[in-house]
Structure 1
């Protein structure tokens, strides 16, 4: 770990912000934009903790990080973003921390008023805010009514995940690295959010935007692998998180819908046997009759082959 020191001011609110990045040339501009928006925050001492993840790092980008004052950075040769998050949180020294993706940015002065000057000033463990999303040239708020989700945080996760980089402040003393170590990258924020609820962490929802999320082409969240991992996540999460029957039913419905969408994608992509693989899994009760009619759309192409 390397520190490019700037002495923090005496007193006042402090927050460390973990930024995971491959530090490659393709994302260099967005990475340094993200760092600028962290260090330009007024009224708050915000320190980036940059976790360089994997072997695609650019010597030019690393040289710029070496010269940049006021940041902490570490190189992890193994490409493991889940572990990079955990290791970044282990290096937090401020009373509060956040996570920001290297292609997103904090809004100007967004943290002023969010980060307490002293840890005892506010009675929450996680402060959940909102954010803007930029996609196809359009910028819009991500969650239409964030505070409505506070009434039932666990169930609301199935409709719209309220935990994401740039829109949550964590109390360092209670939201530990062990708590966020879910051992996976895809679906990690849903998993972490479920843990926060089931562990009884004090959540506060504040419907103010704090970040701007950019929809980057080639993002891992767009891949088929991500969808396959999401299916695996919904298959296994019940073994860790205690759930009542209505929540299990909702998760089963979400899983069946996802399996059906994967079957349709595979069929449209000329992969009938892969389509059958997902289709047959979607037919588990109580969703058998909802999707059984799709069988006839797979029979024709399969018989022709």
Structure 2
């Protein structure tokens, strides 16, 4: 009997057993060899893309697998969760308090397969992706993580997501900060090589950059430079939001605290300066001048990488020109309000 998803469960698990309805190889009885974890808020408007994601995990694969859906928080649609609980090969668990970082950790802890990966509820795997990844990872017994390529769909056109993935095998740390080679749906992990604390206390923003950073500095990375996923971009994607811009600097500063290689640190400082510059522009466009100045000054403190943006002060000063001044700009004699 499937529990009513409206009733809180102490263990947070609605459907602890998989149901099997199809006789193909990926759905044979027995323990799964691979778990694919999907963290989702299970909102009604995400139902179609969520089930597309689930179906894509099964399609074209023969590896015995399970889909572990972590319902993240309290805003879920009960009808959607009921459908999930009855879906074949889907195990549905619930995290009471919404937190994407904690949902990832919870999913890893609840899964038991020797290999595991992740998929967002609006993205998809390409047919046979699980088999390709597991086979590639088996051929590299010392690798903790396999990073694979895929497509990013923009305006209904598939574009290769990663242009320099091969660099991740040669120097995973430095290449990570030149191009993030671990999108959410791009990795396959080997449980026996993953430290227990890898998914504990994940940075609450830039989560996959943080996970890739921890892997790159401690573990071996293998690469499969073949398309295995498709990322769908939407106008309301988190990476386009104001909150995303605001949360980038603290996430990058946290990486700097743990990063000891000077060549990698220089690249991270460059990204930090860029993120602060974008924030300054963001608040300038919103005419919130005090915050625009704050993030500009923070940017200049990222020396020497932030110094390239010093001319931005002229734009800030020009737009803060007092109503009585005839001309704006530095050295014009106009009077400017203090930031």
Asked if 2 retains the 8 angstrom alpha-carbon contact of 1:107 and 1:212, the reply is yes
Question: Tell me, which stretches of 5 or more residues in structure 2 are unaligned?
Answer: 1-12, 21-26, 323-336
1:3 paired residue among 11, 16, 19: 16
- Structure 2 distance, partners of 1:59, 1:12, is 28
Distance 1:269 1:106, change over 3 A: same
2:300 paired residue among 283, 289, 305: 283
Asked if 1 retains the 8 angstrom alpha-carbon contact of 2:144 and 2:190, the reply is yes
Aligned residues: 303
Aligned residue number for residue 160 of structure 1 = 179
Residue 252 in structure 1 maps to residue 272 in structure 2: no
How far off is 1:286 after superposition? 1.6
Correspondences of 1:33-72 after superposition (within 5 Å): 33-72=52-91
Aligned residue number for residue 149 of structure 1 = 168
Correspondences of 1:64-83 after superposition (within 5 Å): 64-83=83-102
2:227 paired residue among 209, 213, 226: 209
Asked if 1 retains the 8 angstrom alpha-carbon contact of 2:85 and 2:91, the reply is no
Correspondences of 1:74-113 after superposition (within 5 Å): 74-113=93-132
SS at match of 1:193: helix
Task: Give the TM-score normalised by structure 2.
Answer: 0.83
- Aligned residues: CA RMSD: 2.3
State the Cα deviation string for residues 146-203 of structure 1 (Å, max 9, x = none).
113322111111121001222111001222452122333321111111111222x121
Correspondences of 1:104-183 after superposition (within 5 Å): 104-116=123-135, 122-183=141-202
- Decide which structure has the larger Cα Rg and report it: 2
- Structure 1 distance, partners of 2:176, 2:164, is 13
Larger mean Cα displacement after TM superposition, 99-108 or 222-231 = 222-231
Asked if 2 retains the 8 angstrom alpha-carbon contact of 1:187 and 1:233, the reply is yes
State the Cα deviation string for residues 218-258 of structure 1 (Å, max 9, x = none).
2222222222221111222222x241222222222221122
- Structure 2 distance, partners of 1:297, 1:163, is 36
Asked if 1 retains the 8 angstrom alpha-carbon contact of 2:270 and 2:306, the reply is no
SS at match of 1:270: coil
Asked if 2 retains the 8 angstrom alpha-carbon contact of 1:110 and 1:211, the reply is yes
Higher RCO (C-alpha 8 Å, min separation 6): 1
- Structure 2 distance, partners of 1:109, 1:116, is 11
How far off is 1:289 after superposition? 4.3
Distance 1:177 1:105, change over 3 A: farther
2:282 paired residue among 246, 262, 265: 265
